[in-house]
């Protein structure tokens, strides 16, 4: 099997410090959490940022500050969200990408009801514009799939020639309104992938462990972190993002799966050399 690539997603759009006081919110806190996770063995960091009040934002300034701090600390592969604020206009969702040129950016391949009370809109025209911005700036799309039909949207973009690399998919399982997190569903999703595609998966909240273990055993990659899960186990909050990375590494070792460094992940995805220590 390929070496396991562990992505850390230290801060999402949902949980706040009131849910877990160890959740990183400021650029300095996020950069520190990413650095600690890199030291623990994470190869990729999927980044969201918050405003000064701790609310989700797509502020280019906050991304810029956070990315600068991370690049000065380590060579972790940078994956920036394009969906960090459900109310942000399409142009704002893409504004940070040409400026910061991350290695990877997320591309959510469809719209859905979000958490039973909002709309998460990814209009087909937005997906095309976002794909072009990524292609023209050498940014690898991480295609986030919340349900089976989104894979069809991704294949449409592939057919239009908007992705230059093989498809890399992140299966998001157990989000409210999305595909339920079960190993049966994960196997079904993997079977829908085109030849040459690579994939990672995670389960939200209590589904975190079974989907992580199944992904490791089925040859995929994994994502851990407070964006998806703020608990270490039932009723016990995780003390840090790095703690969740450390557990993933222990599990991988038990399963006999070697873990990729950031440089190895970059080579695996065919990404150029790290910008770390340059900026």
Asked if residue 143 lies in contact with residue 107, where contact means CB atoms within 8 angstroms, the answer is: yes
* Spatial separation of the C-alpha atoms in residues 279 and 154, rounded to whole Å: 33
Is the Cβ of residue 220 or residue 257 nearer to Zn ion in the bound state? 220
* Spatial separation of the C-alpha atoms in residues 35 and 70, rounded to whole Å: 7
Using rule CB under 5 A, residue 81 touches Zn ion: yes
Least separation in angstroms between CB 82 and Zn ion:
9
* Spatial separation of the C-alpha atoms in residues 39 and 47, rounded to whole Å: 17
Least separation in angstroms between CB 144 and Zn ion:
8
Using rule CB under 5 A, residue 229 touches Zn ion: no
Number of residues in contact with Zn ion under rule CB under 5 A: 1
* Spatial separation of the C-alpha atoms in residues 77 and 214, rounded to whole Å: 24
| Paired residues of 221 in beta bridges | 200
Is the Cβ of residue 107 or residue 259 nearer to Zn ion in the bound state? 107
Is the Cβ of residue 47 or residue 265 nearer to Zn ion in the bound state? 47
- Token readout for 93 is 């969702």
Is the Cβ of residue 81 or residue 200 nearer to Zn ion in the bound state? 81
Which among 74-82, 177-185, 205-213, 247-255 is the span making contact with Zn ion, rule CB under 5 A? Answer: 74-82
Q: Which of 269, 209, 198 is nearest to 1 (CA)?
A: 198
Which among 58-66, 75-83, 97-105, 231-239 is the span making contact with Zn ion, rule CB under 5 A? Answer: 75-83
Least separation in angstroms between CB 170 and Zn ion:
9
* Spatial separation of the C-alpha atoms in residues 51 and 85, rounded to whole Å: 11
Least separation in angstroms between CB 48 and Zn ion:
5
Q: Which residue has the tokens 């160890």?
A: 22
* Spatial separation of the C-alpha atoms in residues 65 and 175, rounded to whole Å: 29
Is the Cβ of residue 56 or residue 220 nearer to Zn ion in the bound state? 56
Using rule CB under 5 A, residue 200 touches Zn ion: no
Which among 21-29, 58-66, 78-86, 119-127 is the span making contact with Zn ion, rule CB under 5 A? Answer: 78-86
Which among 14-22, 77-85, 181-189, 267-275 is the span making contact with Zn ion, rule CB under 5 A? Answer: 77-85
* Spatial separation of the C-alpha atoms in residues 277 and 95, rounded to whole Å: 23
Which among 81-89, 165-173, 214-222, 258-266 is the span making contact with Zn ion, rule CB under 5 A? Answer: 81-89
Tell me phi and psi for residue 57, to 5 degrees. Answer: -150, 155
Least separation in angstroms between CB 253 and Zn ion:
27
**First-to-last C-alpha distance (Å) of the chain:** 35
Q: Which residues bind Zn ion (CB under 5 A)?
A: 81
């Amino acid at each position: 099997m390929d070496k396991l690539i562990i992505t850390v997603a230290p801060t999402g759009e949902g949980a706040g410090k009131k849910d877990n006081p160890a959740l990183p919110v400021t650029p300095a806190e996020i950069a520190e959490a990413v650095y600690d996770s890199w030291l623990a063995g994470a190869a990729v960091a999927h980044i969201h940022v918050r405003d000064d009040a701790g609310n989700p934002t797509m502020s280019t300034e906050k991304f810029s500050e956070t990315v600068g701090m991370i690049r000065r600390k380590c060579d972790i592969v940078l994956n920036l969200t394009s969906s960090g604020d459900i109310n942000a206009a399409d142009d704002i969702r893409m504004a940070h990408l040409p400026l910061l040129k991350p290695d990877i950016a997320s591309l959510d391949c469809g719209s859905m009801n979000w958490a039973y009370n909002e709309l998460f809109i990814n209009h087909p025209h937005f997906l095309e514009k976002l794909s072009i911005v990524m292609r023209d700036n050498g940014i690898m799309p991480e295609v986030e799939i919340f349900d089976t039909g989104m894979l069809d949207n991704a294949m449409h973009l592939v057919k239009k020639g908007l992705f230059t690399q093989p498809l890399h998919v992140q299966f998001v399982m157990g989000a409210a309104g999305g595909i339920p997190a079960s190993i049966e569903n994960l196997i079904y999703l993997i079977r829908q992938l085109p030849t040459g595609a690579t994939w990672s998966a995670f389960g939200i909240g209590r589904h975190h462990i079974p989907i992580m273990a199944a992904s490791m055993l089925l040859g995929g990659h994994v994502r851990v972190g407070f964006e998806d899960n703020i608990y270490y186990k039932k009723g016990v909050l995780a003390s840090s993002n790095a703690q969740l990375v450390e557990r993933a590494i222990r599990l991988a070792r038990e399963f006999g799966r070697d873990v990729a460094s950031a440089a190895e992940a970059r080579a695996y995805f065919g990404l150029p050399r790290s910008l770390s220590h340059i900026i």
